[in-house]
Structure 1
């Protein structure tokens, strides 16, 4: 029988943290506030997700990232704080994968053709 996860789930690829299975972890939204656009864009870039067509993934109003991806296990609102952006990811997460390289090359070629 399939179990469905309801509630808060971390959006980072292969992070298994949910509000149901993890204690002492907080979940943060990607802010939609106009004055936090820069922070939101930096979070999106840090998460490094792509859509199937190679375009940059965009979170929705329900998307969350867990506190385990922030230094000190909590985000900071201060732009100079090391916890302003999520920076804690597994080493493999920061490397470009063969499929990512392929998608990027296809996107680049299609852009050159137009």
Structure 2
């Protein structure tokens, strides 16, 4: 994923282990992703899940991250996660000062 944003920007790394009771989780995750996309300062998101789920969302400023954390629907999803969906989770907020990558399709002109 390429973020088209002047450096620095910020990454929120959310790592979780789910409970066996995940009814409604996928729908809520989709709703939260759609909601995040329309928040000020949102730059992008990538996710992966096996036994452990990892979602990294990218934001322009720390203020944007703080506002997203307090957004009403997101707050409700956080409460539901704690009560029903997550065995445990952790969050790290990182400042991205350097970013680079490789994309074979772009290199080969596809």
- Of Structure 1 and Structure 2, which has the larger fraction of its residues in strand? 2
Higher relative contact order at CA 8 Å, sep ≥6: structure 1 or structure 2? Answer: 2
